[in-house]
A = this chain, B = another copy of it.
């Protein structure tokens, strides 16, 4: 089903885990913890509409035993270009099936910015491991969720840092990149993730209740159905 994540080379080795507050990154955090890393969770406050996501990230970091959780404020929303930061652009609510190209929920280079911050933190910690919850199955429209992107980032990271110069290696782990949503959910449940505290919705309300209509909600709901487990998501009353 899913390739087992190899154990940390040294138990308790520091790793930086990108944590959005959604189900995918929560599962990745659980996997990294299970593999024996001391997980430093990193979230980005980039002016996203769905502020409840950051509250969810805090709950997930605590619940899954992160060694530390940092929320870095960074106003990339001012650069524009995405419905997730620009309230003048509507988040799509229909199915995205049939829509060609990259969805307007794409935030320009956001994941590259986040991975770069993770790299900075990992290097300052003397760590060599980054964990990135990219998924190429459900997010095939996002260029930076593809395996070739992850490989290119890792290659760049090894030229950018002391570790690379000193002959060590920075590793960018993307352990769920080839998993289906159902597989991610099953793996998370196996490792004790409480998905009720995660928020995936692009336009969750302040209490973290999901709209049930945006592409992220649809993918999530279909995942619980495919996994054959109850959907613990709290939805707003219609």
Q: CB < 8 Å: which of B78, B116, B155 contacts A152?
A: B155
Chain A interface, number of residues (Cβ within 8 angstroms): 45
Most chain B Cβ neighbours within 10 Å, of A79, A111, A113, A115? A79
Check A156–B159 contact: CB distance below 8 A.
no
Q: CB < 8 Å: which of B76, B81, B143, B160 contacts A164?
A: B143
Per assembly, the copies of the chain total 2
Check B159–A148 contact: CB distance below 8 A.
yes
Interface-side segment among A47-55, A67-75, A186-194, A206-214: A67-75
Cβ contacts under 8 Å, A116 to chain B? 109, 112-113, 115-116
Assess whether A102 is interfacial by the CB under 8 Å rule.
yes
Assess whether A236 is interfacial by the CB under 8 Å rule.
no
Please measure, in the bound complex, the distance between the C-alpha atom of A199 and the C-alpha atom of B120, giving whole angstroms.
Answer: 25
30 contacts between A and B (CB under 8 A): A72-B76, A73-B73, A73-B75, A76-B121, A79-B120, A79-B121, A102-B162, A102-B165, A107-B120, A108-B121, A108-B124, A108-B161, A108-B162, A109-B120, A109-B157, A109-B161, A112-B116, A112-B157, A113-B116, A113-B119, A116-B116, A144-B159, A144-B160, A146-B159, A148-B159, A149-B156, A152-B152, A152-B159, A153-B160, A156-B156
